[in-house]
């Protein structure tokens, strides 16, 4: 449907010779999303189907494909036994559509509906997921890819979104329901025991030698940091978290993908006809096959570096005028909180643990009453983050992308999620260009549930 519509637009422009400014009205796509329990075969043959929470009956939900500048309207109906919401991760969205219960909307109660309707200003690879009781709801399946195509398509042969997840299942292939296990909350988060790509154990794709593939890798796992490698595929990193790199970066090594992060790759199929190429996940005990590409005859491998993807609208960062704030990340196993604020009360470590709280930002567990910082529209904000814990964290800012400020003062690529290793201090900066109240939290969903969340306010 997309390609025929785009052909029509191209033909239309050529025939009618309208002036460049008189562009047709932006297109809008509408979807109905029923959130309800459904079953899917996750485990190998011989095991029962897995009971999941799905979008329109599948996990992940439908891959939404739109074009930069489109609007998306999604009518959500909640047929789950819990209140829910959907968050459009990485979209520089209208705040009211951000999908955070208690901050941007009331939760969608069982039996109720909510309509999300928003513009898509940026091209790139994004995703959607539940933002209510997410440690449970994302694990049970409420997640999907959101692909925004560039107005001018890059020169590739196949575009393959790969939603990479892990899930913890029981011996009966059912989702392990110990979502609030204190060990997960206070250590590395909920790690799965099966690795899934697009909701399946097996992910097979047929390619030709010499094809140039666009792989859109999306880490939707609760807590797993993927360490990915390629075999029989060679190419470039084109974008992180939806945002194009100014210069594509040749892939020479393994790719680290923290929870919620995305990476867009352009890779040439260098494996020979009859061989298989692979996307691999490296664990301590070796490489696991995530996706297999069976290679048929094709053409010579191109190997010419691709042109960078067109940049998205820019919101420049002005470091000299920036306001600073510090964020101390505290707690967790082996660096246990002795005390912290929680819901306006100062509590001892043991009382916090009884309430499922193990982590704090600047001495507060859970979302504080006051924002970490209030920014004027257009102001540059710098946040220096100190990981004083003994675990890695995937720090995600809603509503705006940031750049890392390196120690020499240079800016890293735009991202919406930054992996902070244990003990690290890193600084991010962003222009507060999007008004509203925006969460800043760890995307290891057990950590968010157990205290690692704050927010920033951008005034209109």
Out of 59, 60, 76, 131, point to the residue binding ligand C2O (CB under 6 A).
Answer: 131
From residue 62 to residue 81, what is the string marking binding to ligand C2O with x (rule CB under 6 A)? --------------------
The separation between CA 293 and the C-alpha centre of its own chain, rounded to angstroms, equals 24
Q: How far apart are CA 119 and CA 121, in angstroms?
A: 6
Among 143-151, 320-328, 337-345, 436-444, which window interacts with ligand C2O (CB under 6 A)?
436-444
Window 258-317: residues binding ligand C2O (CB under 6 A):
260
From residue 241 to residue 260, what is the string marking binding to ligand C2O with x (rule CB under 6 A)? -------------------x
Least gap, CB of 359 to Cu ion (angstroms): 7
Among 22-30, 43-51, 175-183, 437-445, which window interacts with ligand C2O (CB under 6 A)?
437-445
| b/e sequence 124-157, b meaning 16+ C-beta within 10 Å | bbbbbbbbbbbbbbbbbbbbbbbbbbeeeebebb
Q: How far apart are CA 166 and CA 161, in angstroms?
A: 16
Q: How far apart are CA 254 and CA 282, in angstroms?
A: 9
Least gap, CB of 129 to ligand C2O (angstroms): 6
Out of 42, 207, 221, 442, point to the residue binding Cu ion (CB under 5 A).
Answer: 442
Residue of 409, 401, 392 lying closest to 433 (CA atoms): 401
- The answer to whether residues 444 and 422 touch, using CB atoms and an 8 Å cutoff, is no
- The answer to whether residues 290 and 282 touch, using CB atoms and an 8 Å cutoff, is no
- The answer to whether residues 116 and 104 touch, using CB atoms and an 8 Å cutoff, is no
Residue of 358, 443, 360, 362 lying closest to 398 (CA atoms): 443
Out of 148, 444, 449, 456, point to the residue binding Cu ion (CB under 5 A).
Answer: 444
Q: Say whether the peptide bond before residue 60 is cis (omega within 30 degrees of 0).
A: yes
Q: Is 89 in the site for ligand C2O (CB under 6 A)?
A: yes
Least gap, CB of 276 to ligand C2O (angstroms): 33
Out of 214, 367, 382, 396, point to the residue binding ligand C2O (CB under 6 A).
Answer: 396
Residue number, 143 or 270, with CB nearest to ligand C2O: 143
Q: Is 447 in the site for Cu ion (CB under 5 A)?
A: yes
Handedness of CA 295, 234, 3, 242 (dihedral sign): positive
Residue number, 266 or 361, with CB nearest to ligand C2O: 361
Out of 87, 131, 292, 393, point to the residue binding Cu ion (CB under 5 A).
Answer: 393
Query: Could you say which of ligand C2O, Cu ion, none residue 442 binds, taking C-beta under 5 to 8 angstroms by partner kind?
Result: Cu ion
Q: Is 92 in the site for ligand C2O (CB under 6 A)?
A: no
- The answer to whether residues 457 and 399 touch, using CB atoms and an 8 Å cutoff, is no
For residue 402 the two structure tokens come to 């940031």
Query: Could you say which of ligand C2O, Cu ion, none residue 92 binds, taking C-beta under 5 to 8 angstroms by partner kind?
Result: none
From residue 29 to residue 58, what is the string marking binding to ligand C2O with x (rule CB under 6 A)? ------------------------------
Window 439-458: residues binding ligand C2O (CB under 6 A):
439, 441, 443
- The answer to whether residues 436 and 458 touch, using CB atoms and an 8 Å cutoff, is yes
Q: How far apart are CA 215 and CA 229, in angstroms?
A: 13
Q: How far apart are CA 238 and CA 151, in angstroms?
A: 16
Window 83-122: residues binding Cu ion (CB under 5 A):
none
SS3 5: helix
Query: Could you say which of Cu ion, ligand C2O, none residue 415 binds, taking C-beta under 5 to 8 angstroms by partner kind?
Result: none
- The number of residues that bind Cu ion (CB under 5 A) is 4
In 3-state terms, the chain is what percent helix, strand and coil (to 5)?
Answer: 10, 45, 45
Residue number, 209 or 396, with CB nearest to ligand C2O: 396
What is the C-alpha R_g of the chain?
22
Least gap, CB of 167 to ligand C2O (angstroms): 17
Among 198-206, 301-309, 350-358, 438-446, which window interacts with ligand C2O (CB under 6 A)?
438-446
SS3 103: coil
Residues that bind ligand C2O (CB under 6 A): 87, 89, 129, 131, 260, 396, 398, 439, 441, 443
Residues that bind Cu ion (CB under 5 A): 393, 442, 444, 447
């Amino acid at each position: 449907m997309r390609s025929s519509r785009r052909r029509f637009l191209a033909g239309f422009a050529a025939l009618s010779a309208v002036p460049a400014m008189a562009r047709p009205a932006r297109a809008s796509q509408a979807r109905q999303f029923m959130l309800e329990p459904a079953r899917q075969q996750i485990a190998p043959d011989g095991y029962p189907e897995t009971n999941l929470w799905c979008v329109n009956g599948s996990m992940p939900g439908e891959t939404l494909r739109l074009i930069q500048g489109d609007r998306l309207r999604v009518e959500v109906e909640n047929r789950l036994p819990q209140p829910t919401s959907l968050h459009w991760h990485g979209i520089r969205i209208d705040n009211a559509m951000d999908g955070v219960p208690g901050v941007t909307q009331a939760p969608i109660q069982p039996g109720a509906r909510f309509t999300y309707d928003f513009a898509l200003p940026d091209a790139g690879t994004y995703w959607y997921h539940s933002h209510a009781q997410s440690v449970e709801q994302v694990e049970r399946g409420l997640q999907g890819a959101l692909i925004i195509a560039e107005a001018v398509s890059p020169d590739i042969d196949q575009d393959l979104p790969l939603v990479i997840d892990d899930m913890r299942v029981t011996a009966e292939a059912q989702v392990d329901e110990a979502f609030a296990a204190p060990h997960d909350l206070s250590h590395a988060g909920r790690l799965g025991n099966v690795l899934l790509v697009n909701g399946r154990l097996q992910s097979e794709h047929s390619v030709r030698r010499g094809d140039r593939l666009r792989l859109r890798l999306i880490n939707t796992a609760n807590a797993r940091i993927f360490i990915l490698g390629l075999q029989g595929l060679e190419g470039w990193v084109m974008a992180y978290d939806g945002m194009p790199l100014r210069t594509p970066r040749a892939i020479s090594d393994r790719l680290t993908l923290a929870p919620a992060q995305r990476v867009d790759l352009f890779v040439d199929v260098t494996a020979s006809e009859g061989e298989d190429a692979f996307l691999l996940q490296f664990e301590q005990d070796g490489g696991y096959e995530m996706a297999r590409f069976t290679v048929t005859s094709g053409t010579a491998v191109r190997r010419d570096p691709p042109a960078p993807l067109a940049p998205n609208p820019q919101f420049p960062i002005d470091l000299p005028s920036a306001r600073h704030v510090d964020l101390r990340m505290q707690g967790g196993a082996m660096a246990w909180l002795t005390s912290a604020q929680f819901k306006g009360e100062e509590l001892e470590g043991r009382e916090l643990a009884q309430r499922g709280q193990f982590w704090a930002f600047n001495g507060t567990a859970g979302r504080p009453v006051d924002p970490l910082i209030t920014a004027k529209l257009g102001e540059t904000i710098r946040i220096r983050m100190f990981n004083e814990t003994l675990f890695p964290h995937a720090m995600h800012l809603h509503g705006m992308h940031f750049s890392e400020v390196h120690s020499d003062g240079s800016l890293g690529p735009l991202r919406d999620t930054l992996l902070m290793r244990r003990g690290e201090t890193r600084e991010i900066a962003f222009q507060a260009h999007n008004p509203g109240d925006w969460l800043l939290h760890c995307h290891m969903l057990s950590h968010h549930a157990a205290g690692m969340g704050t927010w920033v306010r951008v005034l209109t």
